Every structure is written in structure tokens, then in C-alpha cells.
């Protein structure tokens, strides 16, 4: 194995450990010592591969975003498929990601609040705003053609992510109060899924009393 390969290999090992710790405990509460101990090297070793804690974090965060966001964008743009089907697939994608990392929703929301500008910066570097615009344009086209009801985009966002993320954010709490074990939690998640899809499709297809006092340029 060449020196470069050893280097890459160690870099990957560090990233893996850092990712798991950052997700579990957040940026501030994760120390370089924690990560070093987890990888099996010394604190200064980390600084050799990633000069600062910040740079390590950026790498981890980018990795996480790339693992889900493009997938969701692609699903949402498939205009030929019924919206209920697309939503269900989006929910499935998030479910499978979150079930592997139950702390991920918490992590992302915390990060959103700790440092928005960094998040926006990372997203821009990955050209996600451009891709997002394509998605919203696509949805608005469907709305304009009457295929979907006109709903302000932030409301779609709140509806989907609120319903999707709340069970994970409160997993510990709900489990300790209502449920006996983790298996029950997964069963509950599966029973919850159709509610999410139904609420979203209702919002996007059925006529509901609507308050037009709030209008925005973005829908």
C-alpha cells in the first residue's frame, strides 16, 4: 500500500469516526480527543489530516447533505408520477437514512441554528440552490397547470419536515413514556408513514378553506 493510500485510508477512518460522533453529540460537545480515541490515534494526529476541527466538520457535513438532498430533488421532479407516490418515496428515503442515524434530524436542525451562513455556503459550493430552483419551478409549473393546488412553498416544507422529523426528534422522550422498546418505535413509524403521505396529498390536491392574506413572491 502506497503512502498516499495509507493517507487516504486514515482520512476515511477519521471521517467515519468524526461523522458518527458529530451526529451523536453535535459540533460543540464533540472534542478532538473523542474523535482521536475513537480512531485509535492521538489528538495531534487529527490535526495532521485535517488542520482544524472546523475543516473536519465541513467535510462531514458535506458528506451528509450529498447522501440525501440530490436524491429527494430527483424524486420531486418526476412530474409524470402521482404526487402521493413521489411523497411516499421521499418519506421512504428519509426513513431509511434516519433509521440508520436516529440523531441525524436533531443534528441538522442544531447545525442550521448554530451556523446558518456555513450551511448556506456549503449548499452553494455543492450548487444546491440551483438544483432547488429547478425543483420549485417544476412544482410551481404543476400548480400553474392545476395539477397541484397552489400552496406557499414554505408551508409544504413545514408540513413535510414537521411530520417527518418530529418522531425522531422526540424518540427518546416518546419511547420512555409510551413505548416498551425500540421495535415498537419502528412499528409506530411505519404506521405513521401513511399519515404523512395523506396529509401532504390532502394539502396539495384537495380544496380547503384558504387564507390568501399572505402572499409571497416565491409562490
CB of 5 to a second copy, least distance (A): 38
CA–CA distance, 14 with 49 (Å, rounded to integer)? 9
Largest separation between any pair of C-alpha atoms in the chain: 67
CA–CA distance, 56 with 178 (Å, rounded to integer)? 38
List phi, psi (to 5°) of 12. Answer: -65, -40
Residue range at the interface with a second copy (CB under 8 A); choices 31-39, 80-88, 92-100, 206-214: 206-214
C-alpha cell at 216: 409571497
Site for a second copy, residues 18 to 37, rule: CB under 8 A: 28-29
Is residue 1 involved in binding DNA (CB under 7 A)? Answer: no
CA–CA distance, 17 with 210 (Å, rounded to integer)? 48
Binding test (CB under 7 A) with DNA, winner from 54, 63, 121, 182: 54
Site string for DNA, 19-48 (x = CB under 7 A): -----------xxxxx------xxxxx-xx
Binding test (CB under 7 A) with DNA, winner from 16, 25, 53, 149: 53
- The alpha-helical segments, DSSP class H, found in the chain are 3-25, 32-39, 43-49, 53-66, 69-76, 83-100, 104-114, 116-125, 128-144, 153-169, 171-177, 182-205
User: Could you list the residues that contact a second copy (CB under 8 A)?
Assistant: 28-29, 103, 106, 109-110, 112-113, 116-117, 119-120, 152-155, 157-159, 161-167, 169-170, 172-174, 176-178, 187-188, 190-192, 194-195, 198-199, 202-203, 208-209, 211, 213-214, 216, 218
User: Could you list the residues that contact DNA (CB under 7 A)?
Assistant: 3-4, 6-7, 10, 30-34, 41-45, 47-49, 51-54
Amino acid at each position: 500500500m502506497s503512502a498516499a493510500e495509507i493517507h487516504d485510508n486514515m482520512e476515511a477512518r477519521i471521517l467515519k469516526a468524526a461523522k458518527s460522533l458529530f451526529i451523536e453529540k453535535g459540533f460543540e460537545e464533540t472534542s478532538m480527543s473523542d474523535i482521536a480515541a475513537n480512531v485509535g490515534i492521538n489528538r495531534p494526529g487529527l490535526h495532521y489530516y485535517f488542520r482544524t476541527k472546523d475543516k473536519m466538520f465541513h467535510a462531514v457535513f458535506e458528506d451528509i447533505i450529498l447522501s440525501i438532498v440530490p436524491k429527494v430533488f430527483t424524486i420531486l421532479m418526476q412530474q409524470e408520477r402521482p404526487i402521493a407516490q413521489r411523497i411516499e418515496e421521499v418519506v421512504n428515503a428519509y426513513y431509511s437514512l434516519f433509521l440508520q442515524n436516529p440523531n441525524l434530524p436533531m443534528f441538522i436542525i442544531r447545525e442550521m441554528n448554530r451556523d446558518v451562513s456555513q450551511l448556506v455556503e456549503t449548499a452553494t459550493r455543492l450548487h444546491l440552490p440551483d438544483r432547488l430552483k429547478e425543483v420549485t419551478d417544476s412544482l410551481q409549473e404543476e400548480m400553474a397547470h392545476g395539477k397541484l393546488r397552489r400552496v406557499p412553498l414554505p408551508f409544504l416544507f413545514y408540513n413535510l419536515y414537521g411530520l417527518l422529523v418530529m418522531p425522531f426528534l422526540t424518540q427518546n422522550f416518546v419511547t420512555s413514556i409510551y413505548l416498551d422498546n425500540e421495535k415498537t418505535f419502528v412499528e409506530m413509524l411505519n404506521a405513521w408513514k401513511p399519515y404523512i403521505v395523506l396529509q401532504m396529498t390532502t394539502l396539495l390536491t384537495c380544496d380547503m378553506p384558504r387564507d390568501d392574506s399572505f402572499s409571497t413572491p416565491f409562490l
